[in-house]
Structure 1
């Protein structure tokens, strides 16, 4: 293994985590053949296969399973050395390594731009994933901070609220409930829902708020991508429970409408989350302080 490169190790860790060459290629911004080549070279250095394919799925071999933990430790050591050297150089090029649920993608870049303007020379690594994936990345120490809505149940995670987050029931303007006043939640049982996937913050809030509104004989249509959900709702496939951040443009353009449902909007809190035992870098601590200071009600569009 003495000739293995850090790039090969990072590629291996990504494929091992995703268990998919194509998804790893997307995350690494590489072509799938390039990922396969990196893994092939690493297996040559190791002298044993690290993955095996059964049907269309890939799995780690026993050698691959043994190697995952060591690989992550090596990558983390390189990262720690890099950050230590950056601090010794005076902070220029410090890395802010953060994750956010997809709803945050509709306003979070503006916060980042504001923070970056106040703190020149910061390098950003941003992951946009669902809630479960972000918690996993925090647990594996692959991100320093995460922005989400639900309160983590694991006591190793600490979270602090910094801004309100509203959820709405939206529909096509031609939907029969559009324009009706004070629609009772029970009326929604007759509707087909198009929703985010299980494991997302949106699903968790929806399940907590309106679980009884689902037709027990009809499972909601789960779609991972919010943009696709909005297109499905606009096409009349059903109604949806979505973050207000995600539908602002469509509401202004008249492509979607908010249903006047009793008890809505549902308001939760944006939270900044990290491991309790995580020693935040100066830039991560500064960004956390920035969010807690800037995230007053009304300060996030």
Structure 2
């Protein structure tokens, strides 16, 4: 019988028997009855024209013909997997999934971009994780998500990164602060002011401390808070000044709950980066969202 009459079903069953070196274990793994499995292997052997297994004692071993068929099965499985990936790539922009992890600061902007992307591609399933920088770095190291959006790519990790938007950091104070309304306030005037700072390791905190250190100033840390919302409330309550991304204080400035100080050297300009592990093969859906994000109007409002 010509070899072309061998079916993928028979080859799959044979591959399982060869892998487990047992008809019984292969039947269990494939959820087939042993007689059904044995019949399929027998029919494949008849098609090949050679015995595929030989039994020595209670163990079965591949014959030379069986070894050749097993290698072919492996080649076919690999090619089928590549075909699956290629087909997924063709349809992945409309069907697929994407997992994104972002800094808490970006919860005011990226979810909107993601919603627009999903509205354009309703077949895509998206998941979004929001956390601080330390948590994102842990997830990045574990390759938990497809893409990570943060204020600075980690220098100690092998990653691919692209910056795509400005992140303007502004100085905010409670309403009625003595420096509110003054123009071009020198940094030295803030040397004795109490500050509400993000947690150690935060990109915003590092940038702020670097700026003041360059002016010979060590900030007075009145309070350390890991939540942007909590920082805004604390500053509004009069406990100190803070440096925050301008995207996070638009409403509070408009409502007069906070005021922005005109400090020389501000706003501090940073960038947002989209990051993934080096060498990571993005799915079509993830690649499409990355392109969408890179072209999104995500920059901070002019200040």
- TM-score, structure 2 normalization: 0.66
Q: Displacement, 1:207?
A: 2.5
Hey, what's the Cα distance between the residues in 1 that align with 2:177 and 2:302? 30
Hey, what's the Cα distance between the residues in 2 that align with 1:299 and 1:280? 31
Hey, what's the Cα distance between the residues in 2 that align with 1:129 and 1:236? 27
Determine the structure 2 residue equivalent to 1:113: 115
What value does the CA root-mean-square deviation take over the aligned residues? 2.9
Question: Is the Cα–Cα contact under 8 Å of residues 152 and 158 in structure 1 kept in the other structure?
Answer: no
- Structure 2 CA distance for partners of 1:299 and 1:114, relative to 1, 3 Å: farther
User: Aligned pair 1:194/2:203, yes or no?
Assistant: no
Question: Is the Cα–Cα contact under 8 Å of residues 194 and 223 in structure 1 kept in the other structure?
Answer: yes
Range moving further from structure 2, 252-261 or 176-185: 176-185
Q: Displacement, 1:300?
A: 11
Hey, what's the Cα distance between the residues in 2 that align with 1:282 and 1:120? 14
- Structure 2 CA distance for partners of 1:299 and 1:232, relative to 1, 3 Å: closer
SS at 1:137 equivalent: helix
Would you say how many aligned residue pairs link Structure 1 and Structure 2? Answer: 220
Question: Is the Cα–Cα contact under 8 Å of residues 162 and 295 in structure 1 kept in the other structure?
Answer: no
Question: Is the Cα–Cα contact under 8 Å of residues 188 and 214 in structure 1 kept in the other structure?
Answer: no
Hey, what's the Cα distance between the residues in 1 that align with 2:160 and 2:89? 29
Determine the structure 1 residue equivalent to 2:258: 256
Determine the structure 2 residue equivalent to 1:229: 231
Deviation string, structure 1 residues 172-201 (Cα, Å, up to 9, x no partner):
111111111111111111100012111222
SS at 1:143 equivalent: coil
Determine the structure 2 residue equivalent to 1:145: 147
- Structure 2 CA distance for partners of 1:255 and 1:88, relative to 1, 3 Å: closer
Q: Displacement, 1:154?
A: 2.4
Determine the structure 1 residue equivalent to 2:163: 161
Deviation string, structure 1 residues 75-101 (Cα, Å, up to 9, x no partner):
xxxxx9xx97x9399446522111111
Unaligned 5+ runs, structure 2: 1-80
> Of the two, which has the highest radius of gyration?
2
Question: Is the Cα–Cα contact under 8 Å of residues 202 and 242 in structure 1 kept in the other structure?
Answer: yes
Q: Displacement, 1:163?
A: 0.8
Determine the structure 2 residue equivalent to 1:241: 243
Deviation string, structure 1 residues 91-138 (Cα, Å, up to 9, x no partner):
465221111111110111211111112211221211111122212211
Aligned ranges for residues 40-55 of structure 1 at < 5 Å? none
Hey, what's the Cα distance between the residues in 2 that align with 1:217 and 1:88? 51
